[in-house]
Amino acid sequence: MAHDDGFPAQQQQPPGLTEPMTPRPDHGEESYVGSGKLEGQRALITGGDSGIGRAVAIAFAREGADVAIVYLPEEQADARETAEWVAKEGRRCVLIPTDLRVEIDARSAVRSAAEQLDGLDILVNNAGYQMARRQSFADVTSEDLDRTFTTNLYALFWVTQTALEYLPDGGSIINNSSIQAYQPSESLLDYAATKAAINNFTVNLASELGPRRIRVNAVAPGPIWTPLQPATQYSEKIEKFGSETPIGRAGQPAEVAPAFVFLASNVTASYVSATVLGVTGGKPVF
List beta partners, residue 6. Answer: 3
**pLDDT value for 5:** 52
pLDDT at 2: 41
> What residue ranges do the domains of the chain occupy?
42-279
Considering only 232-241, 257-266, 267-276, which range has the smallest mean pLDDT?
232-241
What number of H helices and E strands is found in the chain?
9, 7
Report pTM.
0.96
The mean pLDDT value of the chain amounts to 95
Mean local confidence (pLDDT), 211-236: 93
Check residue 233 and give its pLDDT: 86
Which one of 32, 71, 182, 191 is the catalytic residue?
191
* 42-279 under CATH 3.40.50.720, yes or no: yes
Closest CA to 110 of 94, 133, 130, 91: 94
- Quick one: what percent of the chain has pLDDT higher than 90? 85
What does R_g of the chain's alpha carbons equal in angstroms?
A: 17
Poorest-confidence range of 20-24, 78-82, 137-141? 137-141
- Alpha carbons within 13 A on the beta-carbon side of 7: 32
Strands 215-221 and 66-71: unpaired
Q: Give tens-digit pLDDT for 153-207.
A: 999 999 999 999 999 999 999 999 999 999 999 889 999 999 999 999 999 999 9
Among this protein's residues, is 191 annotated catalytic?
yes
